[in-house]
Amino acid sequence: MPRPQDATPAPDIATPLIAWFRAEARDLPWRRAGFPAWGTLVSEIMLQQTQVARVIPRLEAWLTRWPTPADLAASPPADAVRAWDRLGYPRRALALHAAATAIAEQHANVVPRDVAALLALPGIGDYTARAVAVFAYGDRHPVVDVNVRRVLARALLGQGEPGPAKVKQDLPLMESVLPDDRDDAAATNAAVMELGALVCVARSPACDACPIADRCAWRAAGYPEHEGPRAPKQAKFAGSDRQVRGLIMAELRASDVPVTRDEIEPVWPDAEQRDRALASLLRDGLAVGDDASGYRLPEG
């Protein structure tokens, strides 16, 4: 929970983190000078639950093909789903296509800067809206993802795990460590994320390499075991409906003509699970059609 107003002020973790980040940060495309706001939006959506190494080549190909929102909006949704390939959670491709269409039609092909305007775009949530405002435009907002929550829980609250996400608590806690200067605030947001991704990891954190180890409440307390509620864990992929959905999607992406149910049946032996996965793809708009006409990716 955020500290009460009369509690001891949180230690300054921004100053050492900024210095560490500017010396040690990974060279990633979206961190380079001149990277467009559209690219930042695309990268943030691609990075959701997907490893950086898998995102970079797909991002570069995407921006080469669709350098502006209007370019993507002019293509059918099926092209976006095919280009998404195996990044996972292909609904993100449809959401990105819908957001691109709204940006092209409602914002003169310019990704909006205002958090409220970003939130009004289809498929854009609180994290993505704040990330674009901060990392594309340099505005001062707290940005919180799972890595940030872990770092803050350990460094400020003395807890080994952050527990379930609580926006009304997480955002004020991140706000409490941001410097007033906009550039420093943006660097702090990025630094806390980087620390959680590379050093303050969920298992076996590298405390000896941490630039704020001397200010970490969890370390000072002797690394106590977490006793509170835990964040829900994602179900295993193998054998899941997600896996079956992916196999069906691979069939649809690979075909330029509708795929029959007979052609879908060999992808998975359990008919009930296969039918359930196909039905969920139809509900999500990732597939269209029926047994009579066959199944395909959405065209418009």
Please give the positions annotated as active site. 44
Residue 121 amino acid letter: L
Answer whether 134's CB lies under 8 Å from 189's CB.
yes
Answer whether 177's CB lies under 8 Å from 188's CB.
yes
Q: Is 255 exposed, middle or buried (0-12, 13-18, 19+ CB in 10 A)?
A: middle
Give CA separation, 290 vs 103, 106, 246, 263, 275, in Å. 32, 34, 18, 13, 12
